[in-house]
Structure 1
Amino acid sequence: MATSTFQLSRDSFGALVLTTDDGLLHHGVSPVRAFPIQSPSQGISLVLHDGKEVAWIDDLADLPPPIRALLQEELDGREFMPEISHIASVSSYATPCTWFVKTDRGDTEFVLKDEGDIRRIGDASLLVADNHGIHFLVRNMFTIDKHSRKILDRFL
């Protein structure tokens, strides 16, 4: 379905409602990113609770501002992936250990259970999972500051 052939709104419960150009209503649609790390604004699928796709969005930037704002708000509420901008310190270079980091959502600390909880995504990105299953993103391990890079190198 072309991105210009639908309307998006919220119902009285706050769920997204997609209205197709032929007037068909789909209640409770959810946006799902095809490439959440490499291309977060491109390739968005709108799916029903059973996983059936009812619309595809090539690029969020192509949508009218009100629809784009609704989708961005929904995505922000569903996805929680703080981006690490600096690794201040680690309690130990043996796991489990506590990491003290600065993120785009503030300073925090988390426990890394195992080196296997650091996964490479593409050439430069890393996903770091804490002991509670929260994923932290290192967008580019080659451009992060020298101190943080030195710590990362010890675990990779």
Structure 2
Amino acid sequence: MQNENTEKQITPAAAPTVNSVPSEQDDFTPRYLDPDTLTFTRSEVGTARLEIRKEACYLRVVVRRLMPLSNPNQYISLAADEDTEIGILVDPSALDAKSLEILQEELDKRYFTPTIRKVYRVKEQFGIHEWEVETERGRITFLVRGLNQNIKQVPPARLFVTDVRGNRYDIPDYRELDAQSYLHIQRHL
């Protein structure tokens, strides 16, 4: 079945390999992509395009880290849309320089997560917490509803805070923050 996101489909003359398009019977078998056959480019409107040599060209590709915390630079899922996976790129560093640059730009857009360096205040009103913090991008204020659902702790002391707009903020180790910031965090954990 061809996705409308596919520009062209080239049927290989050889027998199916590990990189061939999976049939509907083996939809759950991971497809590992060979980085030597992949080329990323930008479309005229700025979206990432993916060409798999002698197979297909996808006009828009969605990228996801399969292990965003433990192994963020390997095991990248490439998809034709939010639900149609093309395959898994195990080691992106094997791509050509331009393709790697485009892939990294797409990952940076998808996983933009400012790092909180200081917590100035956390004020609660009617179940909504207003955070005023310093990040590498400057001082900002954001709102968090439902701390239990929107602050995730990754042992031993890493925190991910999700605001009401779905933006994520990272505190790599809250124990290493200054004393005032640490107290704000402890009060609201």
**What TM-score results when the alignment is normalised by the length of structure 1?**
0.84
Opposite residue 171 of structure 2, the aligned amino acid is V
Matches for 1:38-117 after TM superposition, within 5 Å:
38-49=70-81, 51-92=83-124, 95-116=127-148, 117=150
**Which one is further off, 73-82 or 7-16?**
73-82
Cα 1:28–1:111 change in 2 (3 A) is same
CA distance in 1, matches of 2:56, 2:47: 16
- Give the match for residue 149 of structure 1: 182
Q: Decide which of 20, 45, 56 is 2:52's aligned counterpart.
A: 20
Q: Deviations over 1:30-54 (max 9, x none)?
A: 1111122333222211111152222
Residue 136 (structure 1) aligned with residue 174 (structure 2):
no
User: Identity rate of aligned residues, in percent?
Assistant: 27
Residue 37 (structure 1) aligned with residue 85 (structure 2):
no
Task: Give the aligned CA root-mean-square deviation in angstroms.
Answer: 2.3
CA distance in 1, matches of 2:84, 2:185: 39
Q: How many residues align?
A: 156
Tell me, yes or no, if the aligned pair for 2:123 and 2:130 is still in contact at 8 Å.
yes
**Which one is further off, 109-118 or 141-150?**
141-150
Structure 2: give runs of 5+ residues left out of the alignment: 1-32
**What TM-score results when the alignment is normalised by the length of structure 2?**
0.71
The structure with the larger Rg is: 2
Q: Deviations over 1:47-80 (max 9, x none)?
A: 1115222232223333322111101112222333
Divergent runs of 4+, >4 A: 92-95
Cα 1:102–1:50 change in 2 (3 A) is closer
Q: Deviations over 1:72-109 (max 9, x none)?
A: 11222233322211112223599433211011222101
